[in-house]
Structures are given as C-alpha cells and as structure tokens.
C-alpha cells in the first residue's frame, strides 16, 4: 500500500457539532454550536464539562462531519483560547495550528468547555476553527481523542480515532471530561497533519 498521501482520497473536516446535556448526561441533548456541512459520515470525538443556559452545569459532546468532496470548505487551522471560569477576562491564545489567515472563514467557539490554562489555571476554554475551499496547503488527515486523569499525569487512553495516523499530531481542543478509565479527568482532542 502506498504511503503517498497525494494518491489517497482523504477525509476532510467539513462540519461540526457541539451538543450538551446535564452534567450526568441524562437529559436530552441540546445544540450549542453547529457549523459547516452535516454529512452522513459523522464522528463523535469526545466530551467536555461545560456551562449551558439550558442546564447550567452540563456535559458536552463534540462531533465532526467528514467528506472527500473537494468542493466543500474544509478545516485548515485552529486556535485554542483560555479565559477565567466566567469568561469575563480577556481571552488568551493557548496555541494555534495550520492556516489562520484573513481569507479563511472563522468558526468562533466551535467547541468550548471547562479546562486548564497556564494563564488562568482552571477556567473556560474555546476553540476557533478556520475553513477554506480547496486550499493549497494540507488540512487534517486524521485525529484522536484521549483521556487521562484530571492532572494529566496518568497513562493516556485513546477513546476515539479517525482517518490516518502517519503525520504530525497537534492539539485541537482539551478540557475536563469523563471517561470509563479515569471517571472525572481530562480529555484531549488532536488532529493529524501530513508530514
């Protein structure tokens, strides 16, 4: 099998969805954010504790929609922002990846929830995503979501994975989560960029 990415049909992130329930996930899920195109190829990434007007303390689930259709806008970059618990301070950029130029469409707070940052410690974090149609550069070709304990010191357990893994893995979004392995812990969503 060829490892030349140019010869393989690649899945592209063309849309996404964040839904939330109460903190125990026993209430109906409500849509927090929806962006891009919803395709039949729907992938649940992971979850994060968050705040919603509907439930107050809530648990959110993060999903992406994938397609091989090159005519659709695709995710080409992202930025992770941190704030205090009430999001009342100035957001601070934690990290960025890919293309975040002025000609890209910006999906503000595509995913958000409670997380940790070097500036605010325990606070609220959000992820902006950038989309373009048929960009010259490469977008994500895969990704995973893994869980650890709430101090990120335990062994990382992969919860979900999509696409290809032969590339450079970078952060997409992270926050406090629930997992079967660690119960109350911390989750990391990553994406894989071509080498």
Q: Is residue 2 part of a domain?
A: no
| Mean pLDDT of the residues in the chain | 92
- How far is it, in rounded angstroms, from Cα 86 to Cα 127? 16
Q: Is residue 92 part of a domain?
A: yes
99, 76 in Cβ contact below 8 A?
Answer: yes
* Residue 5 pLDDT: 46
Q: Is residue 1 part of a domain?
A: no
Q: Is residue 101 part of a domain?
A: yes
The per-residue pLDDT for range 120-145, each reduced to its tens digit, is 999 999 999 999 987 766 789 999 99
Nearby residues of 81 by Cβ (< 8 Å), 6 or more positions away? 91, 92, 93, 94, 125, 126, 127, 128
Segment 164-180 mean pLDDT: 93
Size of the chain in residues: 195
* Residue 9 pLDDT: 55
What percentage of the chain reaches a pLDDT higher than 70?
94
Scanning the structure block, which residue is given the tokens 């890919």? 98
* Residue 178 pLDDT: 96
Residue 4 has pLDDT above 60, yes or no: no
Segment 44-73 mean pLDDT: 96
Residue 3 has pLDDT above 90, yes or no: no
Looking at the structure of the chain, the number of domains it has is 1
Closest to 136 in 3D by CA, of 173, 104, 111 = 104
Predicted model pTM: 0.91
Q: Is residue 4 part of a domain?
A: no
Closest to 175 in 3D by CA, of 142, 152, 144, 141 = 152
Q: Is residue 37 part of a domain?
A: yes
Q: Is residue 112 part of a domain?
A: yes
Residue 167 has pLDDT above 90, yes or no: no
Q: Is residue 106 part of a domain?
A: yes
Residue-range definition of the domain harbouring residue 171: 11-193
- How far is it, in rounded angstroms, from Cα 159 to Cα 181? 10
Beta bridge partners of 149: 185
- How far is it, in rounded angstroms, from Cα 123 to Cα 153? 19
């Amino acid at each position: 099998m060829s490892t030349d990415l140019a010869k393989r049909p690649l899945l592209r992130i063309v849309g996404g969805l964040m839904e939330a329930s109460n903190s125990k996930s026993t209430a109906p899920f409500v849509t927090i954010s929806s962006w891009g195109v919803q395709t039949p190829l729907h992938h649940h990434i992971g979850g994060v504790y968050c705040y919603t007007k509907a439930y107050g303390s809530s648990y959110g689930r993060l999903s992406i929609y994938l397609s091989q259709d090159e005519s659709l806008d695709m995710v080409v970059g992202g930025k992770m922002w941190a704030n205090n618990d009430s999001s009342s301070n100035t957001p601070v950029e934690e990290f960025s990846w890919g293309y975040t130029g002025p000609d890209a469409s910006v999906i503000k707070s595509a995913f958000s929830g409670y997380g940790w940052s070097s500036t605010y410690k325990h606070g609220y974090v959000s992820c902006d995503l950038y989309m373009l149609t048929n960009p010259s550069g490469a977008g994500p070709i895969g990704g995973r979501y893994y869980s650890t304990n709430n101090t990120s010191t335990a062994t990382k357990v992969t919860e979900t994975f999509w696409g290809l893994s032969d590339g450079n893995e970078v952060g997409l979004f992270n926050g406090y989560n629930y997992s079967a392995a660690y119960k109350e812990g911390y989750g990391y969503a990553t994406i894989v960029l071509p080498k």
